[in-house]
Structure 1
Amino acid sequence: MKKFNSLFLMFLLVNCVFCSSCTASNVAEVVEERKQQAPSEAKVYTISSAIELNALTLAPGDKVVMKAGEWKNQLINFKAKGTAEKPITLIAETKGSVILSGNSNLKIDGEWLVVDGLSFKNGFSLKDDVVIFTKNTANSRLTNTSIENYNPSDKTVDYKWVSLHGRNNRVDHCAISGKTHQGTTLVVWLDDKPNYHQIDHNYFGPRPDLGVNGGETIRIGTSTYSMNDSYTTVQHNIFDKCNGEMEIISIKSGYNKILNNLFYECVGTITFRHGNHSEVSNNYLVGNGVANTGGIRIIGESQKVTGNYLYKIAGTSLRAAISVMNAYENPELNEYWQVKNAVIENNIIVNGREAFVLGAGKDSKRVLAPDGVKIMNNYIINAATLLVSQDEPKNLTLQNNQVDGGNFSSGFVKMGNDLQLSDGIWQNKTSVKTPFWLNTAVGPDWKKDNRSFIFK
């Protein structure tokens, strides 16, 4: 019996030691696991060169501060992966005080990245575009940044100032002005998937006439991918004397929205160049009678032009206030496709040279007239010419377009009292609003330009 008790006590002792050891081991494992799961504290790095940035291993929530001063010939490669809750930021020590000059440029490469407060000037890029969002970049942002007069001496050199690849990226509150050499100012590049980019609250300053094709301020897509959909939104931007070529914005893809922007004395047009199902709505196009200032040019299917304000547009034919083009019979991707089912409604056209042109550009190749165009409920004040038909559209709807100070024809009636002047702009009494540039910050918050936009 004593022997049995001794063995039993020894068994209990061994079992307790074993269980104690297991418990301690489990506790240690839990502690280690919790350490790994605990959020690491975000770090702040201060750098003075691109080399120092390249040496960093950045984690979600980290911030990189670029020291104030001139950064000459610096190729900034901002490569990292943040998260929606913890983006990674590259920011100027004082916004506007980091001057990227010489042959500097910036590449944004990753996810949930923010670049804030930089200034490109006193230089030009050697070969790459000035700012590039790479194909792998998503949910990233360029904000509060300026690119001004960043030009090579050879005006035939072609590079873009901003190239948007990837998905769900944003360019906002930037000032981009003074491009004099070949190449579109900002390009949205497409592939086989929509990219959902946003371009908003930017100031696009004067761009002189390039004299050749390729001087657009914004291009959304290319001919190659023109039947693909982009879903890019361009809104609350100012385009000030952007005269690079005939197309200020060239839409070359589907399902894009150009909303509530100001185009001030721009010698060119907003053009649905390729692709279908895009929208140009609630924009202000102020020509002030400047020669060749243009309006909105329609090509393609199911395009929508509504609620725009077009003031003293001096252009005619392809540059008329609203121009609906003829097309090729069997077009290639880079040629002119037939206008089908366009909706043109609730626009206000004031003192325009030609309010509407149908079949614009008809020639020996552009022989296919528009089909299914609806022109309804527009307001036309003092148009020199109300309607020009260069070809006869099929299935045209002209209905309740109100006219003041012009001759009437079918589909046009004498104007009632729907409109009132507010902030110097004729507006529908049921939807009066303050023009966005009078109460909304546009451009970098550190750059205070004395800009005024007068309706002359």
Structure 2
Amino acid sequence: MKKYNTFLFGVFFANCVVFSSCAANNVGKTIEEKEQQAKQVQTNVYTISTAAELNALSLQPGDKVVMKAGEWKSQLINFKAKGSPEKPITLVAETKGAVILSGNSNLKIDGEWLVVEGLSFKNGFSLKDDVVVFTKATSNSRLTNTSIENYNPSDKTIDYKWVSLFGKNNRVDHCSISGKTHQGTTLVVWLDDQPNYHQIDHNYFGPRPDLGVNGGETIRIGTSTYSMNDSYTTVQHNIFDKCNGEMEIISIKSGYNKILNNLFYECVGTVTFRHGNHSEVSNNYLIGNGVASTGGIRIIGESQKVADNYLYKVAGTGLRAAISVMNAYQNPELHEYWQVKNALIENNIIVDAKEALVLGAGKDSKRILAPDGIKIINNYIINPGALLVSQDHATNLVVQNNQVDGASLASGFVKMGSDLQMSDGIWQNKTVLQQPFWLNTEVGPDWKKDNRSFIFR
């Protein structure tokens, strides 16, 4: 019996040794795996003082580059790298807003999954290149929390852009872009033969004076050359404050774009479907306050949608009316005026406009083709100077159930009911009350508070 117990104890001891050894091995493997994982997520943080130091880095996914606070005079920042969805590569200011790119500085974003944050361009101008460029090879990258302010050459005829968006799936957000006085569009989305799906959101576009010439748009999406191509760009939750560069505040020159929930405050110009088809301008606020030549929404092209916008005291007429539907050329070139077909204009609220609706706007010896298949339905129009102006006879026109107060009724218009109520200082449909986005949403850099005052006079 004693020998048997000794035998059992030996077996038990051996098993414990084996078990302990296995457990130790398992723990060892777990530690090794965790160390390996830690190595994989380990990132490098580099602090730099010049563009040359950035160029010397070999950046890997997850790396972070910190630009030291201070003035960076005439520095050409070339941020070239490839991050990943899980581990983007970031280029950030040591203190947001305290990295001042002055002199002839500019920025090139060139790669994949890159983020630039917290820079300030001022006290200078670009010599030849655009101020910020997302290159053609750039995708899934972002410029955020950055400002470009009064970055102008002394010669106002010099034409360059402040932001050029090439590539695919890039984003410009929470930036402040203000005071462009020389020629050239402020921000351009450039197209090729593929959609680019860019996003422009939560930016403050500050005052821009009237140039007196063409080419002063605040945003242009596309070009005449690629105007029949689709972009799928979204412009959302931005403020356009006195952006008066030229007649077109936003010029849509491509297909399938969305201009959603933006504020256009006292802008002497229009949101224009200039070229391309199947785009949408919805849920925007266009506040003219009776300022001369303030405009609304101008429609050209096919299958455009204008819905749920609020237009207040727009003082323009004809091409600058609250909603203007243009005449077209008979056989247009790409850069000319194409016929409006199958436009939908619905659920807009138009208050105290000089001209609420204009059909056949711009009719002349060349623009002879009237709009076709227009639907004007379920809009609300209060105290218009003129309710509906027809400069040409639109074919297949549907005008239905538009409610009017303060004007003589016409076919398709009925007396205003009780659908609307005043909320947050604007007329809104009782069933869909919502606070204007700029009252509860951060727009522009979190480190910079622009001098803004949006009063409805």
Q: Deviations over 1:306-363 (max 9, x none)?
A: 0000000000000000000000010000000000000000000000000000000000
1:309–1:36 distance in 2 versus 1, CA, 3 Å? closer
Tell me how far apart the structure 2 counterparts of residues 409 and 259 of structure 1 sit (CA, whole Å): 30
Q: Deviations over 1:276-300 (max 9, x none)?
A: 0000000000000000000000000
Deviation at 1:246, TM superposition (A): 0.1
Tell me how far apart the structure 1 counterparts of residues 152 and 38 of structure 2 sit (CA, whole Å): 49
The 8 Å contact of residues 252 and 273 in structure 2, kept in 1 or not, is answered as yes
Q: Deviations over 1:9-43 (max 9, x none)?
A: xxxxxxxxxxxxxxxxxxxxxx99x9699515100
For 2:229, give the aligned amino acid: N
Tell me how far apart the structure 2 counterparts of residues 185 and 448 of structure 1 sit (CA, whole Å): 20
For 1:331, give the aligned amino acid: P
Deviation at 1:448, TM superposition (A): 1.7
Q: Which residue of 2 aligns with 1:23?
A: none
Deviation at 1:452, TM superposition (A): 1.8
Query: TM-score normalised to the size of structure 1?
Result: 0.92
Kindly indicate whether residue 222 of structure 2 is the aligned counterpart of residue 221 of structure 1.
yes
Q: Which residue of 2 aligns with 1:281?
A: 282
Tell me how far apart the structure 2 counterparts of residues 239 and 49 of structure 1 sit (CA, whole Å): 34
Deviation at 1:50, TM superposition (A): 0.0
Deviation at 1:227, TM superposition (A): 0.1
For 1:310, give the aligned amino acid: L
Show the 5 A alignment for 1:37-76. Answer: 39=40, 41-76=42-77
Tell me how far apart the structure 1 counterparts of residues 440 and 251 of structure 2 sit (CA, whole Å): 28
Q: Which residue of 2 aligns with 1:16?
A: none
Kindly indicate whether residue 319 of structure 2 is the aligned counterpart of residue 318 of structure 1.
yes
Kindly indicate whether residue 137 of structure 2 is the aligned counterpart of residue 136 of structure 1.
yes
Counterpart secondary structure, 2:40: coil
Q: Deviations over 1:63-86 (max 9, x none)?
A: 000000000000000000000100
Q: Which residue of 2 aligns with 1:308?
A: 309
Kindly indicate whether residue 381 of structure 2 is the aligned counterpart of residue 377 of structure 1.
no
Q: Which residue of 2 aligns with 1:182?
A: 183
Counterpart secondary structure, 1:410: coil
Q: Which residue of 2 aligns with 1:333?
A: 334
For 2:42, give the aligned amino acid: E
Tell me how far apart the structure 2 counterparts of residues 36 and 291 of structure 1 sit (CA, whole Å): 63
Show the 5 A alignment for 1:80-229. Answer: 80-229=81-230
The 8 Å contact of residues 41 and 62 in structure 2, kept in 1 or not, is answered as no
Tell me how far apart the structure 2 counterparts of residues 321 and 214 of structure 1 sit (CA, whole Å): 22
Q: Which residue of 2 aligns with 1:427?
A: 428
The 8 Å contact of residues 187 and 219 in structure 2, kept in 1 or not, is answered as yes
Q: Which residue of 2 aligns with 1:396?
A: 397
Counterpart secondary structure, 1:52: helix
Counterpart secondary structure, 1:444: coil
Counterpart secondary structure, 1:327: coil
Q: Which residue of 2 aligns with 1:415?
A: 416
Show the 5 A alignment for 1:21-32. Answer: none
Deviation at 1:449, TM superposition (A): 2.5
Tell me how far apart the structure 1 counterparts of residues 440 and 37 of structure 2 sit (CA, whole Å): 48
Tell me how far apart the structure 1 counterparts of residues 112 and 432 of structure 2 sit (CA, whole Å): 40
Q: Which residue of 2 aligns with 1:24?
A: none
Tell me how far apart the structure 1 counterparts of residues 141 and 120 of structure 2 sit (CA, whole Å): 18
For 1:251, give the aligned amino acid: I
Tell me how far apart the structure 2 counterparts of residues 283 and 429 of structure 1 sit (CA, whole Å): 18
For 2:217, give the aligned amino acid: E
Tell me how far apart the structure 1 counterparts of residues 39 and 154 of structure 2 sit (CA, whole Å): 54
Tell me how far apart the structure 1 counterparts of residues 243 and 208 of structure 2 sit (CA, whole Å): 5
CA RMSD of aligned residues (A): 1.3
The 8 Å contact of residues 304 and 344 in structure 2, kept in 1 or not, is answered as yes
Query: TM-score normalised to the size of structure 2?
Result: 0.92
Tell me how far apart the structure 1 counterparts of residues 86 and 37 of structure 2 sit (CA, whole Å): 19
Q: Which residue of 2 aligns with 1:256?
A: 257
Counterpart secondary structure, 1:250: strand
Q: Deviations over 1:387-412 (max 9, x none)?
A: 00000000000000000010100000
Q: Deviations over 1:83-137 (max 9, x none)?
A: 0100000000000000000000000000000000000000000000000000000
Give the number of aligned pairs: 425
Tell me how far apart the structure 1 counterparts of residues 451 and 205 of structure 2 sit (CA, whole Å): 14
The 8 Å contact of residues 66 and 91 in structure 2, kept in 1 or not, is answered as yes
Q: Which residue of 2 aligns with 1:265?
A: 266
Tell me how far apart the structure 2 counterparts of residues 40 and 172 of structure 1 sit (CA, whole Å): 27
The 8 Å contact of residues 372 and 396 in structure 2, kept in 1 or not, is answered as yes
Tell me how far apart the structure 1 counterparts of residues 166 and 64 of structure 2 sit (CA, whole Å): 24
Deviation at 1:147, TM superposition (A): 0.1
Counterpart secondary structure, 2:138: coil
The 8 Å contact of residues 178 and 206 in structure 2, kept in 1 or not, is answered as yes
Tell me how far apart the structure 2 counterparts of residues 414 and 37 of structure 1 sit (CA, whole Å): 69
Deviation at 1:450, TM superposition (A): 3.7
Tell me how far apart the structure 2 counterparts of residues 48 and 344 of structure 1 sit (CA, whole Å): 53
Question: Any stretches of 5+ residues in structure 1 without a counterpart?
Answer: 1-30
Q: Deviations over 1:33-59 (max 9, x none)?
A: x96995151000000000000000000
Percent identity for Structure 1 against Structure 2 = 85
Tell me how far apart the structure 1 counterparts of residues 381 and 454 of structure 2 sit (CA, whole Å): 22
Question: Any stretches of 5+ residues in structure 2 without a counterpart?
Answer: 1-31
Tell me how far apart the structure 2 counterparts of residues 61 and 314 of structure 1 sit (CA, whole Å): 52
Counterpart secondary structure, 1:119: strand
